[in-house]
Structure 1
C-alpha cells in the first residue's frame, strides 16, 4: 500500500489528500507534478530503470560523480518520493497496479501508445480504480481526445514553439525566428495540464467519476499565442517579429540606457502624459494625445524616448518614473538574487544538494494562499529512495524472497 508522507513539522497543503503517481520525465510532466507537490499532494515519482533522463544534467555544485543529480532535476522534482520500476517486468507491473488501486491521479508524458504496450493504458487502469484521473502530456495530444496524423511523433519544447507560432513572433524584426528563453512549450503546457487535473478532481468530488485529462504541447502553444491568432483572423495577415514592441500599444518597449536596458509601458493617456512630463517634453503629450496618434507616429516617438533614456542610467530612468509610469530595469538573475522583493516573497528557496555539504536555491512557488500556501517540500529524491515506504510490507516480502 502507499504510505502517505508527511511529518508534524510540515504544513499540510491544500492537496494533502491526493496521491499522484508521476510517470513523467524531463520537464513538462515533472513541472506539472511539481506544482501538485508544492500544493501538498503526495507525488510518487515512478522512474524507469536508471531513472529520469535529466538526473545527470548539469549544473552541479562541485563534483557530478558525487552528486545524485544536477540543478535541472532538483528544480522540478523537489518534494517528491521515488521508486524505480521496470514495466517490462511482471512483478513491477503488479506493484504499479497495486499503487493505482489507491492513487487519485496518474500522470505520464510518453508517446501515445506507450502505456498500452505494457497493458497499462487508461482503460486497464480504470478497471483497478474507477475514480482514477489519468492525465497525459504529449506533443500532439492523445487520440482519445482528437486523433491526428501527428500523434506518435516525438516532440520537445523547441518543436512546440516552432509549430505553435511562438518563434515566428519572437525576436527582432530583421532577425531570425527565435525561441523564448524559458521553455514555454513545456512549462505552459504543464501548467494547463495541472489546471485540467484539478478540474477533474473537482468533477470527481461531485460525481464520483474519474476521467482522462489530455494536454498537447502544440495545442498549448496555440493558446499561448492567442494574440497572433486573433490578429490573423481580424486582419488576414500573419503577424511576425517586432522585437520588444507591441503591435497595438505604444510605448510598450525596451530602451537602452547608459548602463543597460529598461522597459517602459506608458500606452494609456495618463501614463503617456506623465512620461512626457518626466522627459521635459510636454509638447509630445499635446501633439500625440490619443493612442491612434501615438501608434501612427511610433517610430518618431520611439527615437525621442530612446534619446532620453540613453543619457541616463537604469536607476535614473526608473527613479524618475517610479510611481508615475510603469517602468523597470531588465534584470539578470544576479539582480534577481539581490532583490529584496524576491526574498520577501519567498521566491528563492534553499534545498539540500545530496553529495555535498551545500544547500542550493531554486525558484519558489508564486501561488500564495493564506491558509495552505504552497511551498517546495524538501529536495528532489534519490533514485528509488522511497521504495520501502511506498510498497510497505510487500517490498519487504519481495526482498526476502
Structure 2
C-alpha cells in the first residue's frame, strides 16, 4: 500500500534544493544527506550529484580526513582543500555537525526526516551509538533510503566474522582477488592504480540506492542498502571465480595478456605503448594481419581461431609486438584506429589534449578557493538524450552551507546560534569563494 510522502514543511523546499543548472537532470529535487568520508561514500554521492541530486555533505568539526591531503597548486596559500577533496566532493553543499554531541545528532535526525537518501561509511555500530541507526531514522521518515558502505558489510544483511575490521582500498583490492591477478606474469601482486577498492563499492552503492528509490515509487517505503567493499571487489573480479569453479585453476598475475583471448593486451610502440584486442572476433585478427602487411597470417591454420592463437600465445604476442614496436603511436593509430579495437596508452597530459574527451565534456573546470584560475576535474560519464550534463561547481568550504541548510530545515536563527554555542554545529569557515 502506497504511503503519503512527508509534508512540504518536513522537507527542504524543492525550489531551493534544485540548483539553477539542474534542468533536465533525472535526480533534480532529490535530497541526499552525505555522512560519508574518504573515497567510497563520497564517490557514490558524487555520482548522484552529477545526476542532479542536492547532496549535503556533513562533516565533523575537523572536516573530512581527505580535505588536507592535496595535491595543492603551488600558488595556493589558502589550502582550503586539495585536489582529492575537490574531485569527489564537487557539486555538493557542505555543513559541519558534531555527531558526538546530542544536539548534533538531533540535527541529523531532523535533516533525515526530510531527506530522500542518507549515505554513510562508518564501521558497524558507530551510527547506532550516536542514536542514528537506520531503524531510528526510518521511524522518523519511512521513505528514507539509507545506504551503508562498509569494509565487510553490515550485520543486517549478513553477519561476517570480519564485520568490525577496518578497511581501506588496498585491503579490499587484496582480499577481493584484484591484487592476486594484477602485475607481471609470474611476479608479485600489484595494486591497481585507481582506488578501485573504494570506487567499485561506491558505484555498486549508487546502483543499489537508485534501485531502492525506484522501488519506493510503488511502495512508498525506503530501504536499508548495504555494500561491502570486499564483496564489491569480488563481484568485479568475477572471472577468477568461474575459472576456479570450472577448472580448479588458481589464476595469478597475468601481466598485460589475457588468459582466454589472443592477441589482447598492451604492446610496445616506438614512443610508448598501445592496447589492442584482435580477439575473440577472428575477423579482427585478419584485419590486424592486413595492417601488419602479413595477410597470410590471417588465414594460417595455426592462428585462424582465437583458441589456436591462445595455444600459441607467446608466439602471437611476439609477432604483433615486433611489428608495433617499429611504429610510433600516431602511425599505429592511422593504421589501426577504427578497424580493430585499439587505443594508445594515454598518460594524464595526453588526456587534456584528447579530442574525444573534449567533445564529450569529460574534463570540466571548477573554481578553487585560493586560486585566481580554475582547476580541472574528471566529469561524470553518464549522458542522457535531450539534456545537458549538470555543470559541476566547486567543493564546499568546511561548513560553508551550515546556516543555509538548517534554515531550510526549519531552524530559526536563534536555534542555529544556540547550536553553534553548544559546539554542535560550525561554519562557514575557510577562504572566501573566488569570482
Same fold per superposition (TM over 0.5): yes
Query: Matches of residues 274-313 of structure 1 in structure 2 within 5 Å?
Result: 274-287=287-300, 288-313=303-328
- What does residue 384 of structure 1 align with? 399
1:144 aligns with 2:159: no
User: Alignment partner for residue 36 of structure 2, among 24, 36, 55?
Assistant: 24
1:295 deviates by: 1.1
Contact residue 21 and residue 391 of structure 2 kept, 8 A: no
Matches within 5 A, 1:223-302: 223-267=235-279, 268-287=281-300, 288-302=303-317
Using the TM superposition, give the Cα deviation of residue 370 of structure 1 relative to its aligned residue in structure 2, in angstroms.
1.9
Q: Give the direction of change, closer, same or farther, for the CA distance of 1:114–1:244 in structure 2 (3 Å limit).
A: same
Q: CA deviation at 1:127?
A: 1.4
TM-score of the aligned structures, taking structure 1 as reference length: 0.97
Are 2:189 and 1:202 aligned?
no
Alignment partner of 1:164 out of 176, 182, 186:
176
Tell me the equivalent position of 1:95. Answer: 107
* 1:9 CA displacement: 4.9
Q: Report how far residue 316 of structure 1 moved.
A: 1.2
Partner deviation per Cα, 1:263-317 (whole Å, 9 max, x = no partner): 1211121111111112122232222212222111111111111111111111112
8 Å contact 2:59–2:95 — kept in the other structure? yes
Which residue of the other structure, out of 391, 397, 400, is the alignment partner of 2:414?
397
1:170 Cα deviation from its structure 2 partner: 0.5
- CA shift, 1:339, in A, is 0.6
Asked if structure 1 preserves the Cα contact closer than 8 Å seen for 2:151 and 2:168, the reply is yes
For residues 179 and 20 of structure 2, what CA distance do their matches in structure 1 show? 47
User: What are the ranges of 5 or more consecutive residues in structure 1 without an aligned counterpart?
Assistant: none
Which segment is superposed worse, 374-383 or 42-51?
A: 374-383
Q: Any conservation in 2 of the 1:2–1:389 contact (CA below 8 Å)? A: no
Check conservation: 1:51, 1:383, Cα contact below 8 A: yes
Q: d(CA) in 2 for partners of 1:7 and 1:142?
A: 34
User: What is aligned with 2:126?
Assistant: 114
User: Number of matched residues?
Assistant: 401
Deviates most, 306-315 or 212-221: 306-315
Match of 1:364 in 2: 379
Counterpart Cα distance in 1 of 2:227 and 2:391: 24
4+ aligned runs moved over 4 Å, structure 1: none
Render the CA deviation track for 1:139-198: whole Å, top value 9, x for unaligned: 000000000110111001100000011001011113210111011111111011000000
Instruction: Mark the runs of 5 or more structure 2 residues left unpaired by the alignment.
Output: 1-10, 419-435
CA-CA distance at 1:398 after TM superposition: 2.4
Range moving further from structure 2, 94-103 or 359-368: 94-103
Does 1:375 pair with 2:390?
yes
Candidates 354, 357, 370, aligned match of 1:355: 370
Structure 1 residues 299 and 265: CA distance shift in structure 2, 3 A: same
SS at match of 1:99: helix
Deviation of 1:347 (Å): 0.2
Pairwise CA RMSD:
1.5
Distance 2:262 2:272 in 1: 21
1:98 Cα deviation from its structure 2 partner: 1.0
1:10-51 superposed Cα distances (whole Å, 9 cap, x missing partner): 535211121110000010000000000111111111111211
2:23 is paired with a residue whose SS is coil
Distance 1:386 1:294, change over 3 A: same
Contact 1:365 1:376 in 2 (8 A): no
SS in 2 for 1:220: helix
